[in-house]
Copies of this chain bind each other. A is one copy, B any other.
């Protein structure tokens, strides 16, 4: 799990994903020699800070977003949220500006506006993320940013044995999106791939519990096509992977942008459930991580 910890520790709030892309590129170039099939890599200006891996003759694409929630420094010590962070006063935030590295503290005023406490003023526009405290117990992983570094980790694990498929590392998911439309266009036009799996982290709810298997989300704020979701559930049953069915009215993912793209994408959110979502101490059961990787391996074969 050392690689998962490294992934969690990378500073890459929405809009500033290049450190994650650089890390992934280095990692993949080194590791892919050991993989069952060597993928073709697509990146560069045409893909902004995103990255695509193509294996063999793809039918299905895994989308894993690289960005995280966080804060942007405004003026007068004010902070604006990136995505929907959920942290208590006193949380340590880190970043870098023109004067060097920053470790500051999150505060709130009476109207619940966020600001920072630090010995000096921080440059306007500086992105801050949670200081990461990664811990592992017998059953659990706990860390900031398991959402979605665990989705990225899942994709990298699946990559080791993948023969046919696409893996897309996307940006801006936590803050309104913006990369999936052109990434979807690229894979639909180039390889005619319009089946997608959203490798992301869902929330522990009253109906989806830790340690009970990977969650297949039948809907969130968006409703994927029933026919496609039914196929995924059928494969999970047939392959005897431990899974749970999630049905939500809120929440969204890269799936939203796939659904509204001008290509006929089918998509389904498949991911481990986590407790304490968007806090600095997100927690996921290891059993569910194992089930997630296992299900993705089967889905990439059977879909």
Contact = CB atoms under 8 A, between A and B. Distances in A.
Contacts of A127: 226
A82 B207 CA distance: 19
B185 A219 contact: no
A218 interface: yes
A229 interface: yes
Given A15-B226, A245-B124, A264 B81 contact: no
A124 B205 CA distance: 14
B263 A74 contact: no
Interface residues on A, range: 35 or more
A23 interface: no
Contacts of A73: 247
B206 A15 contact: no
Contacts of A181: 260-263
A14 B224 CA distance: 9
Interface stretch (A43-51, A103-111, A283-291): A43-51
Given A125-B219, A229-B125, A206 B76 contact: yes
A247 B47 contact: no
Given A80-B248, A177-B260, 4 more contacts: A72-B247, A74-B248, A178-B259, A181-B263
Closest 7 CB pairs of A and B: A125-B218, A75-B207, A15-B223, A178-B259, A181-B262, A80-B249, A185-B262
Interface of A: 14-16, 18, 45-49, 72-76, 80-82, 124-125, 127, 172, 175-179, 181-182, 184-185, 206-207, 218-219, 221-227, 229, 245, 247-249, 257, 259-264, 266
